[in-house]
Structure 1
Amino acid sequence: MIVHIMAGGPKQYIPKLDKYPKDICWIGVDRGVIYLMEKSIPTYAAFGDFDSISEEELHNIEAKTGIIKRFKPEKDETDMELALLWAIKEGATLIRLFGATGGRLDHTIANLQLLLREAIDHKDVKVEIIDKQNSVAVVPAGSYTLKKMSEYKYISFFPFSTKIVGLTLEGFKYPLVRRNLPASSTLCISNELIRETGTFSFDEGILMVIRSCD
C-alpha cells in the first residue's frame, strides 16, 4: 500500500500532486489537511493537535475526513511521527512525506530524523520526503539501483551515521570503489547518472540519498 502524508509546511515547497495516481491513500497532518481539501484530494485520515486551525476549519475537516486522530499539543511524538507510525501499522510499504520541509528548521530536521529511525526500525518500508526540488531517503547498508529521472538531475550521498564503509558507485559521472566516508564527508555531493540506471552499495552505516533539481 502506498500512503502519502501531507504536513503543514510552506506551500511554496510542495510539488505538483496531479502526477500521482488518484487511488493513493492520503493522510493530512495539522494544516496539511486544509491543503489537501483546497486541492480537492480525498483525505483518508487527519492527525494533529489542530491548534493552528480555526473551529470552522476543524468542523470542515470532521465533515470531510474519514478518520480523525486528535492529540494534545503536549506530547512526546510529533504529529508527523504519529501519522507515520499509524501508516506503517496499517501496512504501508511506501510512504511519501510532503509539506515536511521549509519553514522552521527544527521541524525539517525532526522529519529527517524520522527517515533515519524508519531505516533502522522498518527496513521493509520505504519512506521519502518530497518537496518541489528534492527527494530524500535514508537507507541502511545494502545494494540499490537508481533510475535516471528528468526532474532530478543531481544525486548526493551523505553519511547519516558515524561512518560509511565500502561505498561503491557505478553508472555515475563520479564513480567510487569501496570508499570509506567519515560522518562529516561532502565527497559525494552533486553526482549525476551517466546511464539510464546506476547502482550504489555499501557494507556498513546509514546513508542519506538526496535527488535534486536546480
Structure 2
Amino acid sequence: MIINILAGGPEELLPELTDYAEENTVWVGVDRGVFHLLNREIMPEIAFGDFDSVSPEELEFIEKHVSNMQRYKPEKNETDMELALNWALAQEPTMIRMFGATGGRLDHLFANMHLLLNPLKEKNPATVYLIDRHNIAFLKGPGSYTIEKMKTKKYISFVPLTLDVSGITLEGFKFPLKNRHISLGSTLCISNELISDYGTFSFSEGILIVIRSHD
C-alpha cells in the first residue's frame, strides 16, 4: 500500500497528482489540501486538520464529501501534517508521499522536512518522500543504496542532516567521492549528476537528506 498525503501548500508547486494515483494508493487530505483533492476529483480516505485555512463555504463543501474527518483545535502539540503522517505510518505502508508541503512559510517547510525523520526514529521501513513540482526529497540512514537516473530531475544533492556524515562514497556520479567526511553546513555534495542509468551512494554514520531536482 502507498499513502499519498496532500497538505495545503501553494497549488502552483504541486506536481500532476494523477501521476501518483497507482492501484492500491490511499489519499489523505490535510487542512486545505482536502479541498485541493476534492477539486481534482480525488476522494481522500481520511482528512486531518483544524481547517483554519479554508473558508466557511469550503469547509461546508469538505464536510459534505468527506465522511472521515479528524478535526482538531488550532492549539495543539502537533502540526496537521504530523498528525496525518503518524496515522499513515501506523498503517504500515510500503511508501508515503507528501505533497503540498513546500513553499510559502519557511517554518512549515523546515517542520515538514524534519518529519521525514519519523520513520527512521521509529525504525519503520517505509520511506517518506517530500514531493513538489521541482523536487523530491527523502532521508537515508547509514547503508549502501542504488539510485536510478531520472530524466526529469537530473540533479542529485546529498545534504547532511546530522552534525557529521562519515564515509560517504558516490559511484556512477559526475563528481564521485570515496570515503569522505562531510559536516553540517557543507555544500560538497550539492548538484551532482549520474553519468549512467544507475549509481550508488553509501555512508557509515549520520543521516543524509537526498534531494532530486531540476531547474
Q: Which residue of 2 aligns with 1:122?
A: 123
Aligned residue type for 2:38: M
TM-superposed deviation, 1:123: 4.1
Q: Counterpart of 2:86 in structure 1: which amino acid?
A: L
Question: What are the Cα deviations for residues 148-178 of structure 1, in whole angstroms up to 9, with x where unaligned?
Answer: 1111100000110010010000110000111
Matches of residues 86-165 of structure 1 in structure 2 within 5 Å?
Answer: 86-165=87-166
How many equivalent pairs are there? 214
d(CA) in 1 for partners of 2:203, 2:213: 22
CA contact (8 A) 1:33 1:43 kept: yes
Secondary structure of the equivalent of 1:181?
strand
Alignment of 1:1-214 (within 5 A): 1-23=1-23, 24-214=25-215
The answer as to whether partners of 1:174 and 1:192 remain within 8 angstroms in 2 is yes
**Aligned mates of 1:186, 1:42 — CA distance in 2:** 41
Query: Partners of 2:184 and 2:118 in 1: how far apart?
Result: 17
Give the aligned CA root-mean-square deviation in angstroms. Answer: 1.2
Inter-CA distance 123–194: structure 2 relative to 1 (3 Å threshold):
farther
Distance in 1 separating the partners of 2:50 and 2:3:
21
Q: 1:123 to 1:186 in 2, by over 3 A?
A: farther
Q: With structure 1 as the length reference, what TM-score do the two structures score?
A: 0.96
Whether contact under 8 Å (2:3, 2:28) holds in the other structure is yes
Return the offset for 1:42: 1.5
Structure 1 unaligned regions, length at least 5: none
Q: For each residue in 1:11-40, what CA deviation from the matched residue of structure 2 results, as whole angstroms up to 9, or x when unmatched? A: 111111121235321100000000001111
Q: Per-residue CA shift, 1:73-129, capped at 9, x if unaligned?
A: 000000000000001112222000000000000000000010123333234110010
Compare 96-105 and 18-27 and name the one that shifted more: 18-27
Structure 2: how far apart are the matches of 1:4 and 1:66?
A: 18
TM-score by length of 2: 0.96
* Identical amino acids, percent of aligned pairs: 54
* Cα distance in 1 between the residues matched to 2:92 and 2:67: 18
User: Residue type matched to 1:126 in 2?
Assistant: T
**AA in 1 matched with 2:152:** E
Q: Is the 8 A contact 2:119 2:125 kept in 1?
A: no
User: What is the rounded CA distance, in whole Å, between the counterparts of 2:201 and 2:53 in structure 1?
Assistant: 42
Whole-angstrom CA distance in 1 between matches of 2:95 and 2:56: 33
Task: Give the Cα separation in 1 of the matches to 2:145 and 2:121.
Answer: 16
